[in-house]
Structure 1
Amino acid sequence: MISNLVGNRIREIRAKRNITQQQLADTANIPRATLATIEKDESNPSLAAVYKIAVALNCTIDDLLEKQHDRVEIIRNADMVRAESGDGNYRATTVSPMTNPAYSQQTFTLKPNSSYIGKPHPPGSEEYLHILEGELILEVASQRISLSKGDSAHFRGNISHSYHNNGNVVTHGLVTILEIFATD
């Protein structure tokens, strides 16, 4: 049963963070009675309930299933997920573990004199952008912001956004997307 694996771990994390059952239940949007039965190993929770609790605790389902705090997850280059825009101007590689759907980190390249229209994320999501090489125009809603090597930007991920490389060199960057507080 899943509850045998997660009940004690949820209680342990909650206690370390000084969170009451009611606070966690409210944040996870589940009844407190459901949380109590999960913590006491008296029920077999749905995966949806465990996911909501993990998101509310800002951890992964794996974190709730494991007691090892020193686990290191390695993602080998050959195993990384890669994507490319239809025109080939934008390429992204997911460099974060795929075990937490609320968190994604990608490196990207944007060819000179090209643009990429970002897909809006669910309401409550956050997007962080860091320029490693080159320059970029970040367009968020009606704002146009010029970013150079070493610059970072943060914005609500559900807002329409796009990247524009008007320069003569490839832009390299890092994007982090957090959907921890997403309400979708």
Structure 2
Amino acid sequence: MENGKVGARIRTFREKAELSPADLAERTGLDITFIKAIEDDDLYPSLQPLVKIARALGVRLGTFMDDQVSRDPLVVRQSQRREELTMHHTGKDEPALRFHSLGRGKSDRHMEPFYIEILPESAEDASLSSHEGEEFIVVISGKVAIRYGQETTVLEEGDSAYFNSIVPHHVGAAGDEPAKIYAVLYFPE
């Protein structure tokens, strides 16, 4: 799915809920210009705003990426993975993160599994985010810096981290090389 479809889906769910952009901004605590940028300009600075929008609209985060329903078990072949979402830092053209959903199509899921390419640009904006739930990541290649509250830990290939995501955190590349991780995010209902 192209990035532009995510913004269009958010708009569709907002309109189905009979909410204006101002209503959604009020429910999420996000600025109305930010809401409009997500819908119109495909702006994705972090997962935190998307989680807030999903909660305000009463849908799962994955709803914005799903385009089909599958049978169990859902199998995603490596050759069939598609970049579904890129996150940019405000004012930057180059992406900092590239997300590939590994759960797209499983409509009854309770976790959001991703394969994520973390580019060195991710370290430029180390702003912390938080949301209800938990995260589990495994580093496949490169080095990843996790800032969790006041503590920073560098993970290398094969290392993993499991943490409560309500604590402000940031996950970015450590150094000048990209990193690749598998991540599973859990958002309680």
TM-score (norm 2): 0.50
Deviation, structure 1 residue 75: 4.2
Report the 3-state secondary structure (helix = DSSP H, G, I; strand = E; otherwise coil) of the residue aligned with 1:96: coil
RMSD: 2.6
* Aligned partner (choices 92, 100, 103) of residue 93 of structure 1: 100
What residue number does 1:120 align with? 130
Contact in 2 for aligned 1:95/1:106 (Cα 8 Å): yes
> 2: distance between equivalents of 1:117 and 1:94?
23
Opposite residue 165 of structure 1, the aligned amino acid is A
> 2: distance between equivalents of 1:112 and 1:121?
24
Contact in 2 for aligned 1:113/1:166 (Cα 8 Å): no
User: How many percent identity over aligned positions?
Assistant: 15
For residues 137 and 79 of structure 1, do their structure 2 counterparts lie closer, same or farther at Cα, with a shift above 3 Å needed?
closer
Runs of at least 5 residues in structure 2 that lack an aligned partner in the other structure: 1-70
Q: Moved runs in structure 1, 4+ residues, more than 6 A?
A: none
For residues 142 and 91 of structure 1, do their structure 2 counterparts lie closer, same or farther at Cα, with a shift above 3 Å needed?
same
> 1: distance between equivalents of 2:84 and 2:117?
12
TM-score (norm 1): 0.51
CA-to-aligned-CA distance 1:10-68 (integer Å, 9 cap, x gap):
xxxxxxxxxxxxxxxxxxxxxxxxxxxxxxxxxxxxxxxxxxxxxxxxxxxxxxxxxxx
What residue number does 2:180 align with? 172
For residues 99 and 117 of structure 1, do their structure 2 counterparts lie closer, same or farther at Cα, with a shift above 3 Å needed?
farther
Number of matched pairs: 110
Opposite residue 162 of structure 1, the aligned amino acid is H
* Aligned partner (choices 165, 168, 172) of residue 160 of structure 1: 168
> 1: distance between equivalents of 2:128 and 2:101?
15
* Aligned partner (choices 122, 141, 144) of residue 136 of structure 1: 144
> 2: distance between equivalents of 1:164 and 1:130?
13
What residue number does 1:82 align with? 84
Opposite residue 73 of structure 1, the aligned amino acid is L
Structure number with greater Rg is: 1
Runs of at least 5 residues in structure 1 that lack an aligned partner in the other structure: 1-69
